[in-house]
Amino acid sequence: MNQKPSLGKRLLAAPHLVWSALFIIAPLIMVVYYAFTDGNGSFTLSNITAIPDYADTFVLSIWLGLLATVISLIIAYPLAYFISQSKLPVQQTMIMLVMLPMWMNFLLRTYSWMTILEDNGIINTILTSVGLSSLRLINTRGAVVLGMVYDFLPYMILPIYSVMVKLDHSLIEACQDLGGNKWDVFSKVILPNSISGIVSGITMVFVPSVSTFYISQKLGGTSTQLIGDVIERQFMTANNYHLGAALSLVLMVLILVCMAIMNHFSDGEIETGRISA
Amino acid sequence: MKKFFSLITAIVLAFGALGTTVFATGTTEALDPESLRGTTLYVYNWGEYISDGSEGSLDVNKEFEDRYGIHVEYTNFTSNEDMYAKLISGGANYDVIIPSDYMIERLIKEGLLAKLNFDNIPNYRYIPEEYRDLYFDPNNEYSVPYTFGMVGLIYNTKMVSEAPDSWNAMWDEQYSGEILNFNNPRDAFGIAQFLLGLDINSENPDDWQAAYEKLSEEKPLVQSYVMDEIYNKMENGEAALAPYYAGDFLMMVDNNPDLAFVYPKEGTNVFVDSMCIPANAQNKEAAELYINFMLETDIATANANYISYGCPHTGVQSNPDYEWVGNEILYPESVDFKTDYFHNLSDETLSLMTSLWDDLMVEGGNNTGVYIALAVIVAAVIIIAVVMAVRKKRRANIDD
């Protein structure tokens, strides 16, 4: 039976292969092509050498992306644990509530945060009506991070939840039988076993946060220019596809590096986790 | 006798047929709307730039669909540059676009517009003399004027200490954080150029550099660079000052009577937006039918009332239903300040402008804290990595 996959099986995989080639590989090749050519189509490194001008923007994007990811993780982890420990009907309702905002368009959700955070927006109207002074909320970096957390939080909750819900309860009991206290149960059983969920959650929040442009434009005002804004402008206004592609390429490499560092850590965690458990 | 009669009939018929053919080629009554029934027309226009049926206005596109059975696929852009990027990306085909003067000049230069068949647009007769043969289309082959207007300064009377009369108000530190500016380079640079007394169509890099420095000086005071978001922000009192197109002010003041408008004394940009057909349009005849339809007095009046920009249409101006006739903002009696059209810039100047604009957008903001924080994190990551590696090694030694 250990033959090559049958023709039928290979045919089943064909749609995905065609899809990947058309919509993942081909666009990537185009990005690389544009990044290393100029307007006349000849090879140049000038797009890449222009990147250091945007170092500040890259750093700010990564920093805000990190912040949003960490905050999402802090919110999502206990919530996912709580949901996974609830009764089944409660679980289903809670998960639906987590998904509910995703049924609305992402742009609309961000736009409504403008109404909430504005100087004469909902929060400040309430504050001033109870006699407090109004706060500067919109057009700050805090507002941008808030927008990122709000928009991408479900992508952190869902993978962590799906790992936790599959957690074998006998492991927890075994830990308790061996004299482990609550902290031991958490640090030696639950955490190591949910690492894979955390890693995919982090990826799914960090990557869109680093590359977003809409959130920073609507909530950040002039305070926050992210690398996504710069890239968007190259394509939409400046018509400089070459610089835009070079920036995208560098962003992809930076994200890959961040992911590689994180995967390195998570591998280590799992190993130590298993050894100590 | 019978034969002779039939011969005569045949000759008469033949001549008759000949006569009608001659007649048919003589006039160019070519466009038959019926033949276009069931087709789709792609229209690409500015946001809030057509009477769309809201607030009891006429839904112009629906009216066109009902009358001709041509489906209108209507989409919006927020700036000429956006429109241009979409047009040349080749990702979409449009049949009717409504860009501004300098963009039309560029599109014509680059061969991206189709010549109009004015036989299909008889309502062109309503366009007054002064809006024909404009500089961007000197022989009037490519465009039909839709609106005109000027850029001015909108301000909230409750939020300014005195009514501004100069672009300088946008550089006034007392309004820090309450100033908006255009989120498109041409309009934003234009303001700085008028303030500095520079030519808005200058090809001298120093002029652009100077304008850039002026904008850079303003940036710390600017709350946000906006286009269509300006409606919400000005109507809700989120900002005190914003430059924008005069017609849009009339819409905003309807929702917030505290707003006021001024044409700054240093001068301002005047523009004409015209209907054009891209060279790669798939449904050119329907596009011409649409342009002609847009010029019908009733339709043009509905649009002019709704979008409240200046209307270059003699039928509208004499229509008793036209609300804005003689409005002093749209049709000022005397213009005692400099006005200038944007012209298409050379490729070098265009790329200088976009890169200066990019610099302006990216610069500013104090990132020292961010650098320190990131450095701390990187250091922490390295320390943890080292600690973990050491622990692993020790364990491995123990296992051995």
CB B101 within 8 A of CB B136: yes
CB B278 within 8 A of CB B217: no
Q: Buried b vs exposed e over A48-71: b needs ≥16 C-beta within 10 Å?
A: bebbeebebbbbbbbbbbbbbbbb
A2: pLDDT strictly greater than 80 = no
| Position B220 in a domain | yes
- The whole-number pLDDT of residue B17 equals 47
**Mean pLDDT of the residues in chain A:** 90
- The whole-number pLDDT of residue A263 equals 82
Q: Which residue of B has its CA nearest to A66?
A: B374
Q: Is A111 on the interface with B (CB under 8 A)?
A: no
Q: Is A47 on the interface with B (CB under 8 A)?
A: no
- Class of domain A55-230 (CATH, top level): mainly alpha
B74 and B120 assigned to the same domain: yes
Classify residue B29 by its DSSP letter.
-
| Position B306 in a domain | yes
Q: Closest Cα of chain A to B137: distance in Å?
A: 24
CA B326 to each of CA A12, A260, B149, B323, B358: distance values in angstroms, whole numbers, following the listed order: 70, 67, 14, 9, 41
B253 and B195 assigned to the same domain: yes
What would the two tokens of residue A22 be? 């058309």
- The whole-number pLDDT of residue B16 equals 47
CA A175 to each of CA A167, A170, A197, A257: distance values in angstroms, whole numbers, following the listed order: 13, 8, 21, 36
B358 and B228 assigned to the same domain: yes
- CB contact under 8 Å between B229 and A240, yes or no, is no
In this complex, which of A222, A233, A261 lies closest to B358 when CB atoms are compared? A233
- CB contact under 8 Å between A235 and B84, yes or no, is no
Q: Is A60 on the interface with B (CB under 8 A)?
A: yes
Chain A interface, best mutation among B221, B238, B349, B384, by max A CB count within 10 A: B238
What would the two tokens of residue A5 be? 């996959």
Degrees to nearest 5, angle at CA B46 with B45 and B51: 80
- CB contact under 8 Å between B184 and A237, yes or no, is yes
Chain B interface, best mutation among A225, A237, A247, by max B CB count within 10 A: A237
Phi, psi of B78, rounded to the nearest 5 degrees: -105, -15
Q: Is A140 on the interface with B (CB under 8 A)?
A: no
DSSP secondary structure, B238-303, as one string: S-SEEEEEHHHHHHHHHH-TTEEEE--TT-EEEEEEEEB-BTT-S-HHHHHHHHHHHTSHHHHHHH
- The whole-number pLDDT of residue B201 equals 96
Q: Read off the CATH number of the domain in which B87 is found.
A: 3.40.190.10
Where do the DSSP E strands lie in B112-198? 144-156, 179-182
Pairwise CA distance, residues B104 & B123, whole Å: 21
CB A154 within 8 A of CB A101: yes
**A127, burial (CB in 10 Å: exposed 0-12, middle 13-18, buried 19+):** middle
Domain count, chain B: 2
- CB contact under 8 Å between A120 and B81, yes or no, is no
Q: Closest Cα of chain A to B314: distance in Å?
A: 35
> Beta strand B144-156 with B259-262: parallel, antiparallel or unpaired?
antiparallel
In this complex, which of B84, B358, B367 lies closest to A230 when CB atoms are compared? B358
Mean pLDDT across A69-89: 95
| pLDDT tens for each residue of B50-86 | 999 988 899 999 999 999 999 999 999 988 988 999 9
In this complex, which of B222, B354, B381 lies closest to A240 when CB atoms are compared? B354
Residues across chain B: 400
| pLDDT tens for each residue of A125-140 | 999 999 998 888 999 9
- CB contact under 8 Å between B395 and A275, yes or no, is yes
B224 and B357 assigned to the same domain: yes
B53 and B113 assigned to the same domain: yes
| Position B395 in a domain | no
Pairwise CA distance, residues B305 & B311, whole Å: 9
State the CB neighbour count (10 A cutoff) for residue A27.
10
What would the two tokens of residue A175 be? 């830990």
B282 and B254 assigned to the same domain: no
| Chain B interface residues (partner A, CB cutoff 8 A) | 79, 81-82, 84-85, 88, 177, 184-185, 219, 222-225, 229, 232, 236-238, 351, 354-355, 357-359, 361-362, 364-365, 367, 370-371, 373-374, 377, 381, 384-385, 388, 391-392, 395
Q: Is A123 helix (H, G, I), strand (E, B) or coil?
A: helix
B60 and B125 assigned to the same domain: yes
Q: Which residue of A has its CA nearest to B373?
A: A63
- CB contact under 8 Å between A236 and B85, yes or no, is yes
B132 and B161 assigned to the same domain: no
- CB contact under 8 Å between A66 and B377, yes or no, is yes
Helices within chain A (DSSP H only) = 7-20, 26-35, 46-49, 55-85, 88-99, 106-117, 122-129, 141-164, 169-177, 182-184, 191-211, 214-220, 227-236, 241-276
- The whole-number pLDDT of residue B30 equals 60
Chain A interface, best mutation among B224, B256, B360, B394, by max A CB count within 10 A: B224
| Position B385 in a domain | no
Chain B interface, best mutation among A112, A222, A231, A240, by max B CB count within 10 A: A222
- The whole-number pLDDT of residue A41 equals 87
Give percent of chain A above pLDDT 90. 70
B126 and B66 assigned to the same domain: yes
| Position B44 in a domain | yes
- The whole-number pLDDT of residue B4 equals 52
In this complex, which of B82, B224, B359 lies closest to A236 when CB atoms are compared? B82
| Position B179 in a domain | yes
Domain residue extents for chain A: 55-230
Name the band, by pLDDT with cuts 50, 70 and 90, for residue A3.
low
Mean pLDDT across A88-93: 94
Q: Which residues of chain B have pLDDT under 50?
A: 1, 12, 15-28
Helices and strands counted in chain B (H then E): 13, 10
Q: Is A38 on the interface with B (CB under 8 A)?
A: no
B156 and B221 assigned to the same domain: yes
| Position B381 in a domain | no
Instruction: List all residues 6 or more positions away from B71 whose beta carbon is below 8 Å from its beta carbon.
Output: B38, B39, B40, B41, B65
Q: Which residue of B has its CA nearest to A115?
A: B232
- CB contact under 8 Å between B370 and A60, yes or no, is yes
Q: Is A265 on the interface with B (CB under 8 A)?
A: yes
Q: Which residue of A has its CA nearest to B239?
A: A119
Q: Which residue of A has its CA nearest to B356?
A: A238
**A180, burial (CB in 10 Å: exposed 0-12, middle 13-18, buried 19+):** middle
In Å, how far from its chain's centre is CA B279? Answer: 19
- CB contact under 8 Å between B388 and A268, yes or no, is yes
B195 and B281 assigned to the same domain: no
Alpha-carbon Rg for chain A in angstroms: 23
State the CB neighbour count (10 A cutoff) for residue B375.
10
Q: Closest Cα of chain A to B70: distance in Å?
A: 30
Where do the DSSP E strands lie in chain B? 40-46, 71-77, 96-97, 144-156, 179-182, 222-226, 241-245, 259-262, 268-275, 339-340
- CB contact under 8 Å between B374 and A268, yes or no, is no
Q: Is the ipTM reported for this complex over the cut 0.95?
A: no
If one compares B243 and A169, the residue with the highest pLDDT of the two is B243
B188 and B298 assigned to the same domain: no
State which residues form the domain around B233.
Answer: 149-270+353-362
Chain A interface, best mutation among B351, B370, B377, B381, by max A CB count within 10 A: B370
